[in-house]
Homo-oligomer: A and B are copies of this chain.
Amino acid sequence: MTLSSLQHALARFAVERDWEQFHTPKNLAMALAGESGELLEIFQWLTPEQSAQVMQDDERAVQVREEMADVLAYLLRLADVLDVDLERALVEKIEKNRGKYPVHLARGSAVKYTQLGG
């Protein structure tokens, strides 16, 4: 499925339940952050190594997939109500980041770009 058809499915789901009244950009940004917080809770006590094995536990794997689906759902709803083309926005952001994080400076470093020397 394309993002666009997923957006249509989500919009229809909301319309059928008369939930559009709740889906202001402010509320959707909150819901998106709330779901990101639930994803965070799955990982918070895991070591980085354990986090890389998280999908090998069936119960946790289901949780991870569902929370990620929830994040995507609210991100797509937000993009829909704000009329943002998400895929284009990401392509442009990647281009912009190429300039901010040139390979020869950023290589192996997690330092934020403003601190990268010349």
Contact = CB atoms under 8 A, between A and B. Distances in A.
Contacts of A66: 89, 93, 96
Contacts of A33: 30, 33, 36-37, 39-40
A73 B21 CA distance: 28
A108 B16 CA distance: 9
Contacts of A31: 41, 44-45
Interface string A13-46: 1001111011011110111111111111111111
A45 B110 contact: yes
A87 interface: yes
Q: Which 4 A-B pairs have the closest CB atoms?
A: A37-B37, A26-B51, A45-B110, A69-B93
